Amino acid sequence: MERIFHRKSYLLLIAFFSLPLAAGLTLAAPSQNFSGATPLEWSQRLADSEMARQTNAPKWDYTMGLFTLSLLKLNQEMPDARLVKFSDEKVGSLISSNGFVQGYKRSEYQLDALNPGKTALALFEAVTNHDARYLHACDELVSQLDDQPRTFDGGFWHKQRYTNQMWLDGIYMAAPFYAAMGRYFIRPNKAYEEVAKQIRLADEHTYDAKTGLNYHGWDAAKIQPWANPVTGCSSNFWARADGWYAMALVDVLDFFPTNHPARVQIILTLQKLSQGILKFQDAKTGLWWQIMDQDDRKGNYLEATASAMFVYALAKGVNHGYLGRDYVPAIVKGYDGIVRNLIQADGDGKWSLTQCCQVAGLGGSPSNGKMRDGSFDYYVGEPVVKNDLKGIGPFILAGIEVQALTRTNIR
């Protein structure tokens, strides 16, 4: 793949997830109380609380990439130098003067490792006056996809060690970053076409028409212990997998040209998934279950990270016109459900997000000794923790988008 940096014409490009307030619009009161605070105020509360908790040394990690990106998006809505400083310390400090990324191992071909590149690109475009080291780092990261291992039909393996496997997680980790970096390529259409292909393959191989949801993973060889020997799919609808996928779809559209032929298909894929997501929203709380279609089966629980991801993706979809306004009641109910049921006051002005699935995957050799077999018992048996960044980041982003839903045209 050929790439080029347009050093003489760097522009402040449209950043991830932002939706500026249009002329003639004002903020209206939300239809729900949200426990006495606006969505942006809740985003700020969780951002402040989590920054205070994050005292470890910086590490190149997809979860920190998600969290810091959410901070930079929040900074666009509520400017705060602390948000930028924290993001640069946690991600930017790992990038050397020549763009070398400390902790990144290209030979592992992990799609997860590309996710912090979104923060690096946001720092380059909108924060650091186009410090070239950030773009050099992003170029090195995206070049991994030049020779990323692929399935027989061209799907990116999730990692080198996950032979012939596509995971929904990987669509989020790589596709929006790849599409964003397309603007710096000599042939940008190649990037857009590749991103569209990855989304199409994920949809073709993991979508279940009966539920309207997508399975977590697909084994092209159909030999993994967790894979259905006929379809190659894993056996359950893990909520966070669909959450990653939903976020990927709305984020990719930020960067696709409006006249690109694949744009319509991506929007249709988002609409199809959104219908499935809505179908399995808990009627009482507005939240979503760890295993989406098993509701109150013994051991199942209402899970925070996926609930935040769904609220964010659906709200952004409405705000950008990909989804109809008829989704708004469910979005508001979902956001209110998170605030009412999953946000916990810790004292001293700090707040926590509870009921987060700590981690889940397929196959491999987990440190806790459990077989990651994709079963119901596996997914509900993984640790449930507070303040996982895979929930904090989407909750902050959800607040930004839900705040936008409260804007009313007064002209």
d(CA 92, CA 85): 9
Write down the pLDDT at residue 34. Answer: 78
Of 61, 88, 112, 169, which one is the catalytic site residue? 169
- Nearest in space to 267 (alpha carbons), one of 206, 314, 322, 307: 322
d(CA 164, CA 149): 8
- Nearest in space to 106 (alpha carbons), one of 97, 119, 117: 117
Question: CATH classification of 28-409, choosing from 1.10.340.30, 1.10.10.60, 3.60.20.10, 1.50.10.10?
Answer: 1.50.10.10
- For residue 178 the two structure tokens come to 């790849």
- Nearest in space to 270 (alpha carbons), one of 255, 257, 251, 288: 251
What's this model's pTM, rounded to 2 decimal places?
0.91
Quote helix, strand, coil % in the chain, to nearest 5. Answer: 50, 10, 40
CB contact at 8 A, 236 and 215: yes
d(CA 156, CA 129): 33
Is 169 annotated in the active site? yes
User: What number is the average pLDDT over the span 54-79?
Assistant: 97
**Least confident piece of the model among 184-188, 233-237, 367-371:** 367-371
d(CA 179, CA 182): 5
Q: pLDDT for 266-281, tens place per residue?
A: 999 999 999 999 999 9
CB contact at 8 A, 108 and 149: no
- Domain borders along the chain are 28-409
**Burial class of residue 6 in the structure, from the number of CB atoms within 10 Å of its CB (0-12 exposed, 13-18 middle, 19+ buried):** exposed
Q: Tell me what percent of the residues of the chain surpass a pLDDT of 90.
A: 85
Write down the pLDDT at residue 187. Answer: 87
Confidence class for position 127, pLDDT limits 50, 70, 90: confident
pLDDT greater at residue 6 or residue 227:
227
C-alpha distances out from residue 172 to 156, 162, 244, 248, 252, Å: 12, 17, 6, 4, 9
Q: Coil, strand or helix: which one is 318?
A: helix
CB contact at 8 A, 396 and 74: yes
Write down the pLDDT at residue 368. Answer: 63
In sequence order, which residues have a C-beta less than 8 Å from that of residue 253 and are 6 or more positions away?
263, 266, 267, 270, 320, 322
**Least confident piece of the model among 46-60, 227-241, 353-367:** 353-367
- Whether 22 shows a pLDDT value over 60: the answer reads no
Q: pLDDT for 194-230, tens place per residue?
A: 999 999 999 999 999 999 999 999 999 999 999 999 9
